[in-house]
Structure 1
Amino acid sequence: MIYKHQHLWPGVPLALGSAVLFGASAPLSKLLLGSIDPWLLAGVLYLGAGIGLAAVSWGRRLIELPNVEAPLQKGDIPWLVLVVLFGGVLGPLLLMLGLSRTSASSGSLLLNLEGLATMGIAWLVFRENVDRRLLLGAMAILAGAAVLSWNGETLHLDIGGLLIATACLSWGIDNNLTRKLSSSDPVQIAMIKGLVAGTTNLVLAIMFGASLPNATLVCAGSLVGFLGVGVSLVMFMLGLRHLGAARTGAYFSLAPFIGAILAVLIFGEAVTLQLVAAGILMGIGLWLHLAERHDHEHLHEALEHDHSHVHDAHHQHVHDGPFTEPHSHWHRHEPLSHRHAHYPDLHHRHPHE
C-alpha cells in the first residue's frame, strides 16, 4: 500500500515556529539581565510561561472549547519530574548564568548545541533513526560552533560559553525525555513545567540573596517567558509528536540564528567575519536537515495508546455514534504495511538496518 501526504506538515512548521520564539527569547533575556539577577530571571521566565499557559487553559474551559488532547497518566509522572528538573530548573539557570558572561550574539549561536545534544542522545541512547544527511547537517552545525569558539590560536570557550553548552546538554536530555510525553496534552505539560520550575528557581534565587525588581521588569520577563518558553515549548512538543526528538532538535537549530540577528539589532554588536562564517556553516546544516526525506516500505506492529488524532491512513478504527475530529481516546492500531515519507513520530519508531 502506498500512502501519499505532505510529510513536512505539520511537524516542520511547528518545530521552526518553536525555534523562532525561543531564539528571540535569548537576546531579550540578555537585555533584562542588566536589571535582574540571572537566577531570578530564570524563575520569572518559566513562571511567566506557566501562568500564561494556565490562563490559556482556564480560558479554553471558560468558553467551553473542547480539549482534544489526551491527559497525563500516572505512568507519565516520573518522566515529567525529570523533564522539569533538566529542562525547567537546570537548563534555564545555566543559560542565564552563561548569557551574563558572554555576548548575546555568540550566546545565541551556541544554542545550536542543543539540537546536536538532542540528536546525539536520540540516536545513541534511544536508537532513533538518523541518516547520513542528518549527520552531515549536524557536523556543519558543530563546525559553526567551533568557528565561533576560535580565539585565533586554539578553540576556546569562556566560562559563559561553557555554561551555555551545559545548558544545551541539559535541554538535550529534556527533549528526549519529553518525547515520552508527546502524546499527552502539551499545554498541560508545559504549564506544569513552567509553574514548578519557575517557582523553584524564583524561591531559590530569593533565598540566596536576589531581590525582586520592579513590576515593569517582572511583567516584561513574564511576557518573554510566556512566548519564548511557554508557547515555544507547546509547539516543540507537538513537533516531537510528528518528527521525533532528533529531527525536531535539528529543525530547532534555527533558534540561534534568530537570536543572533536580534542581538546585532538590539545591542549593535559587530557583525564579524567569525560570526558570518559560523552562521553560514550552521545555515548549511539547517538546510541539510530541511532537505531530508525518509521513504521506505515499513511495517506497523499492533499498538494501543491514547492521543489526539484524525482518521487518516494510520487510524482506521470504528466509533459507536457520531464524533468530531480531531479527538483523543484509547485506540488500537492493527498491523499495517505500507510506504510513504515519514519521520520517527508516534507511529514510526520502527528499527532500521
Structure 2
Amino acid sequence: MFNAALIALSAAALFGATTPLAKILLGALSPFMVAGLFYLGSGIGLACCILIRRLRQNTRERGHESHIPPAEVPWLLGAIVAGGIAGPALLMLGLSSTPAATSSLLLNLEGVLTAAIAWIVFRENVDVQVFLGMVAIVAGGLLLSWQGAAGVPTGALLIVGACLCWAIDNNLTRKVSTHDAMTIACIKGLAAGCVNLSIALLLGAHLPATAKLAAALFTGFAGYGVSLVLFVVALRHLGTARTGAYFSVAPLFGVALSLAIWPEAPPVAFWLAALFMAAGVWLHIRERHEHVHTHEALEHNHPHTHDEHHRHAHPFPYDGDEPHTHPHRHAPITHSHAHYPDIHHRHSH
C-alpha cells in the first residue's frame, strides 16, 4: 500500500499549496471568482489531458474504458454540489479574514470529518488508533480556532464548513472511485468552475488581467485538478477514512509555503496545534488492519494488475501489459492479509 499512500500524500501536497496562493489572489479577486477560476482551470486542464490520452489510445483500449452508470450519477452530482460549489466558496470567504498559516492547519479537519462520515454513515471500518488520531487533530483545530472570550472567529467557522463540505464530497466520490479518475475530476472541475464563475460575474466581479487569469487557472489545474485525480485513485486503494487521514498532511505543505511567503513568528498556540495534528496524522499512518475476510462475487471495471484479487481470464488477446482496464469478475474467496477498505474490501466486521 506504500504506492497508494504516496499518491495520497502527493494529492495533499498539491492541494495544500493552493491555500496560500489563493490568499494572494484574494487581494484583487472575489472569493467566488477565485474558486471559479481554480475549478475551471482544473476542468479545462484535465479535459486537454483526456483528449491527448484518447488520441494515443487504440480501439481496444477505448472500448474498455470505464463509464459512470446512470445509477451512480447522483453520487457524482452530490459530490459536485458539496465539494465543487459550497466547499470552495466557504473556503475563499474564510480565507479573506483568516491568516494563511492558520487556515492551512484548520484544513486538517477535512480528514477527520471525512473519516467520521465514512465510519458513522457509510459503516467503513475505523480502528481505535484512527479514532485517537482524529481526536488529536480536532484538538489542534480547536487550539487554532478559539480566541478566548472572543469565541471562534467567523472566518475559522467558514473554513470548518468548507471542510465538512469536502468530507461529504470525499465520501460521495468514493461511490464512483472505480471509474476513470481523470474523467471524474474533469466533470467536477467544469461543473463547479462554471457555477462559481457565474455567481462571481452576477455579483459584479470582472475577469482579471491575462497574467493573473493564467496564474489562477494553472494553480487550479495543479492544486484542484491533478490533486483530485490522485485523491480518487487513493480512494480506490485505501478507502475514504484512510485517504482522508493521509490527506490531512495537506495543511503542513500549506503552512510551509505560507511562512515562506509571509515570514513571521507563529504564536505558541500555533505550534501546539501543529504538534497535536502531527500526532494525529502519525497515528493514522501507523494503523494496520488484518483479519480473515470473505470476498463476495463482484463484477466491475477499473485499472488493475494481476494480484491475488485479480485471477481471471481475458475475453480478448492479452499482451501482458499492466496495469490495464477492462470489465472483470471476482470469484468468491476467503483469506487473511493486511488490507484497507478499498474497492475490494468493503465488507462488514
Q: Hey, what does 2:278 align to over in structure 1?
A: 283
Q: Distance in 1 between matches of 2:235 and 2:272?
A: 30
Q: Distance in 2 between matches of 1:155 and 1:283?
A: 27
Pick from 259, 262, 265: which aligns with 1:270? 265
Query: Please, which moves more after superposition, 228-237 or 76-85?
Result: 76-85
CA-CA distance at 1:321 after TM superposition: 4.3
Query: Please, which moves more after superposition, 332-341 or 129-138?
Result: 332-341
Pick from 129, 135, 139: which aligns with 2:125? 129
Pick from 40, 46, 63: which aligns with 2:39? 46
Cα distance per residue 1:18-57 (max 9 Å; x no partner): 1010000101111111011111110000000000001111
- Counterpart AA for 1:11: A
Pick from 317, 325, 340: which aligns with 1:343? 340
Q: Contact 1:263–1:269 at 8 Å: present in 2 too? A: no
Q: Distance in 2 between matches of 1:122 and 1:239?
A: 15
- Counterpart AA for 2:46: L
Query: Please, which moves more after superposition, 94-103 or 59-68?
Result: 59-68
Q: Distance in 2 between matches of 1:259 and 1:126?
A: 30
Q: Contact 2:289–2:338 at 8 Å: present in 1 too? A: yes
Q: Hey, what does 2:10 align to over in structure 1?
A: 17
CA-CA distance at 1:267 after TM superposition: 1.6
Cα distance per residue 1:302-340 (max 9 Å; x no partner): 112222212210111112343232222222211101111
The yes-or-no answer on 1:36 pairing with 2:43 is: no
The percentage of counterpart residues that share the same residue type is 53
Q: Hey, what does 1:332 align to over in structure 2?
A: 329
- 2:294 is paired with a residue whose SS is strand
Cα distance per residue 1:145-187 (max 9 Å; x no partner): 1111232x35832111011000000000000000001000010
Q: TM-score of the superposition, structure 1-length normalised?
A: 0.94
Q: Distance in 1 between matches of 2:264 and 2:171?
A: 34
Q: Distance in 2 between matches of 1:27 and 1:41?
A: 12
Q: Distance in 2 between matches of 1:314 and 1:178?
A: 23
Cα distance per residue 1:80-125 (max 9 Å; x no partner): 1111111111111110111011110111111011111100000000
Q: Hey, what does 1:5 align to over in structure 2?
A: none
Q: Hey, what does 1:318 align to over in structure 2?
A: 313
Q: Hey, what does 1:119 align to over in structure 2?
A: 115
Q: TM-score of the superposition, structure 2-length normalised?
A: 0.95
1:1-353 correspondence runs (5 A):
8-64=1-57, 66=61, 70-151=66-147, 153=148, 156-323=151-318, 324-352=321-349
Count matched residues: 344
Q: Distance in 2 between matches of 1:279 and 1:47?
A: 32
Q: Contact 1:190–1:233 at 8 Å: present in 2 too? A: yes
Q: Distance in 2 between matches of 1:228 and 1:321?
A: 38
Q: Distance in 2 between matches of 1:261 and 1:305?
A: 41
Cα distance per residue 1:264-304 (max 9 Å; x no partner): 11122332211111111100111111111111111111112
Q: Distance in 2 between matches of 1:310 and 1:155?
A: 55
Give the aligned CA root-mean-square deviation in angstroms: 1.4
Query: Please, which moves more after superposition, 212-221 or 44-53?
Result: 212-221
CA-CA distance at 1:62 after TM superposition: 2.8
Q: Distance in 2 between matches of 1:96 and 1:150?
A: 20
Query: Please, which moves more after superposition, 83-92 or 71-80?
Result: 71-80
Structure 2 unaligned segments of length 5 or more: list them: none
CA-CA distance at 1:137 after TM superposition: 0.6
CA-CA distance at 1:204 after TM superposition: 1.3
Query: Please, which moves more after superposition, 91-100 or 306-315?
Result: 306-315
- 1:212 is paired with a residue whose SS is coil
CA-CA distance at 1:216 after TM superposition: 0.7
Structure 1 unaligned segments of length 5 or more: list them: 1-7
Q: Distance in 2 between matches of 1:320 and 1:81?
A: 33
- 1:181 is paired with a residue whose SS is coil
